[in-house]
Structure 1
């Protein structure tokens, strides 16, 4: 299959929304992509619309229940900080970067989710030290490309301040610029999270979110300059995308509080879970309900009765309740017993203590990262919840397209590189390409 570009640069601005377009169209470096390039006005995300599920869908062209990344974190009841779906091995089937490498292309990735221990030539995976005895640099080194990461940390590690933003994205930016100049990869995937962080902490339309968009414009300008410096700008394709949008909220729903009250969860005197029969696993704006024993019909009936009572309560914060089969139809994890969708203004926590609903204040957000003022994870069917796609450069047809799905991006990117992801849930957007 013919390659349509020599260098594909995919930049993911986490939590970039279709609603951001009126701001983006006036920013100088975004204009460099929008004016000569293609623009998809609304991109439908996946369910649940959390970062890891979304990014796995982007590189596979499949829905979460097919590629296997059905949430950000694993089901580990009682763990204060569950492990994340960091590793490539968690993805079922092939990926964009796998196929690019098979084709002999040079691949690079900077903090792209679900790439730990992936076969990427130059890989700095998104993974963090999740236990007190872990060291961040060591965790990164052993899960990515050691020499590549060591050099980046030696050159730019002083910029980073742990996981704090905007310093983390500033570190990623310098690493990206250096990678372009020294490696000239055929496929480069970059993940920036500044905007997502600001929206979580301060709200969707906050001044802090606006400042993050402006910082992203400056970052984009630096990347475009690096392509020019390296004499590969004319032979490159630059794609800018979001993974999901976000919605403001100020109330947290805690179904596990009810499960504990009804003896479906038991805990010790310190509030640590000893045993569970049913558990609510948060996806922020949605949540899975799992049974420890999926064949336990007595517990299933008890849980269904509890959820039905919540559905009939207008103050429960729950908008819809899906069965596992209905969740699978929407691309989510069909092995759950139920899937809950929060009303706008609400999201889910896994706490087993306190009141069923917790009112969130700015002080709560400052004190504990589990509290937020805007979040995602909601159904793609929520109103004004689409993300966005922009692309310019070699192989791109300068058109405006009203709609596509997140799962259509991977097959389209594969076509640009002259490779295939095989049979996927998504399709190649040929109207976006000059073939």
Structure 2
């Protein structure tokens, strides 16, 4: 299969939405891509529409039930800060970067989700120290390319302020520019989270989110300049994409509080979870309910009665419930007993003590970053909830399309690089390619 480009640069601006287009089209560097390339007005994300499943979908062309990354975090009931799906081995099957490497291309990834311990030539994976005894830099070094990361930290580590934004993205930007100039990778994947963070903590249309979009415009410009300065621009394809959108919310739902009351979750005298028969695992705007014993019909029936009662209550915050089989039909994890979808304005947390519904204020968010004022994870069928995609450069036609699906991006990237992801859920978007 012939290659359509020499260098593919995939820039993920986490939480960039279709609704952001009126701002993007006025900003000069986004304008460069939009004027000279392909633009998709609405990209349908996946279910659940959270970052790690989305990024696994982008590099595989498959739905979560197939690639195996069915949520951001692992099912670890009772653990306050569960581990994330950080590792490459969380993904079943091949990926875009695996196939590029097999074809003897140079690969690089900067804070791309689900790439810890991946076989990427220059890899700074997105992984963080979520235990008090862990060291952030050491965790990164152990799970990526050590010498590469040491060089980046030596040069640009002073920019970073822990995981805080916008400093983290500023560090990632300098690392990206340096990687382009010194490594000239055939495939570069970079993930920026500034916008997502601002929307979580301040709301979808907040001034902080708009400021982040303007910062992203400058970051995009710096990346384009780096390609030009390196003599790669004419041989490159630049892709700008979002993984999901976000919706404002100010009420948190705690399904585990109800399961606890029904003694399906057991705690000790200190309030620590010691056992569970059923557990609600949050995906922000949606939630899985799992049974510890999938053959326990008594517990299943108890949970079903609870779910039915919530659906009948207009004030429950629950919009819809799917069975495990129905969840799998939507591409989500079919091993759950149920999957719940929150109404607009609501999202799910995993607390098992306190009230079922908690109203969230800006003060709550400021005091405890587990709370948010906008989030994702909702069904991609929700209205005005699409994300975005644009691409320009080698192999790309100037065209506007009304819609694609997130699952279509991976096969399209593979086609640009002249590799194949095999039998995928998504298709090659041939309309945008100069085949």
Instruction: Report the TM range for the smaller structure's normalisation.
Output: over 0.9
Instruction: Report the equivalent of 1:424.
Output: 424
Instruction: Report the equivalent of 1:322.
Output: 322
Query: In the TM superposition, what whole-angstrom CA distance separates every residue of 1:86-124 from its partner, at most 9, and x where no partner exists?
Result: 000010000000000000000000000000000000000
- Matched residue of 1:78: which SS? coil
- Matched residue of 2:363: which SS? helix
Instruction: Report the equivalent of 2:89.
Output: 89
The answer to whether structure 1 residue 352 and structure 2 residue 352 are counterparts is yes
Q: How many Å apart are 1:269 and its aligned residue?
A: 2.1
- Matched residue of 1:402: which SS? strand
Cα distance in 2 for residues equivalent to 1:270 and 1:389 = 49
Instruction: Report the equivalent of 1:122.
Output: 122
Instruction: Report the equivalent of 2:175.
Output: 175
- Matched residue of 1:173: which SS? helix
Instruction: Report the equivalent of 2:100.
Output: 100
- Matched residue of 1:322: which SS? strand
- After TM superposition, list the pairs within 5 Å mapping 1:301-316 onto structure 2: 301-316=301-316
Instruction: Report the equivalent of 2:241.
Output: 241
- After TM superposition, list the pairs within 5 Å mapping 1:25-424 onto structure 2: 25-424=25-424
Query: In the TM superposition, what whole-angstrom CA distance separates every residue of 1:29-76 from its partner, at most 9, and x where no partner exists?
Result: 101111011000000000000000000000000000000000000000
Q: How many Å apart are 1:270 and its aligned residue?
A: 2.1
- Matched residue of 1:49: which SS? coil
TM-score scaled by length of structure 2: 1.00
Q: How many Å apart are 1:412 and its aligned residue?
A: 0.1
Cα distance in 2 for residues equivalent to 1:82 and 1:98 = 28
Unaligned runs of 5+ in 2: none
Instruction: Report the equivalent of 2:20.
Output: 20
Cα distance in 1 for residues equivalent to 2:370 and 2:327 = 25
Cα distance in 1 for residues equivalent to 2:125 and 2:38 = 29
Q: How many Å apart are 1:130 and its aligned residue?
A: 1.1
Cα distance in 1 for residues equivalent to 2:5 and 2:430 = 14
- Matched residue of 2:423: which SS? coil
Cα distance in 2 for residues equivalent to 1:329 and 1:104 = 37
Query: In the TM superposition, what whole-angstrom CA distance separates every residue of 1:346-398 from its partner, at most 9, and x where no partner exists?
Result: 00000011100000000100111110000000000000000000000000011
Cα distance in 2 for residues equivalent to 1:425 and 1:360 = 38
Query: In the TM superposition, what whole-angstrom CA distance separates every residue of 1:217-242 from its partner, at most 9, and x where no partner exists?
Result: 00001001100100000000000000
Q: How many Å apart are 1:433 and its aligned residue?
A: 0.2
TM-score scaled by length of structure 1: 1.00
Cα distance in 1 for residues equivalent to 2:420 and 2:432 = 17
Cα distance in 2 for residues equivalent to 1:159 and 1:82 = 28
Cα distance in 2 for residues equivalent to 1:405 and 1:147 = 37
- Matched residue of 1:321: which SS? strand
Cα distance in 2 for residues equivalent to 1:274 and 1:102 = 46
Cα distance in 1 for residues equivalent to 2:352 and 2:54 = 28
Q: How many Å apart are 1:304 and its aligned residue?
A: 0.3
- Matched residue of 1:250: which SS? strand
* Structure 1 moving runs of 4+ over 2 Å: none
- Matched residue of 1:234: which SS? helix
CA RMSD of superposed structures (Å): 0.4
Cα distance in 2 for residues equivalent to 1:50 and 1:280 = 16
Q: How many Å apart are 1:159 and its aligned residue?
A: 0.5
Cα distance in 2 for residues equivalent to 1:331 and 1:306 = 24
Cα distance in 2 for residues equivalent to 1:269 and 1:225 = 60
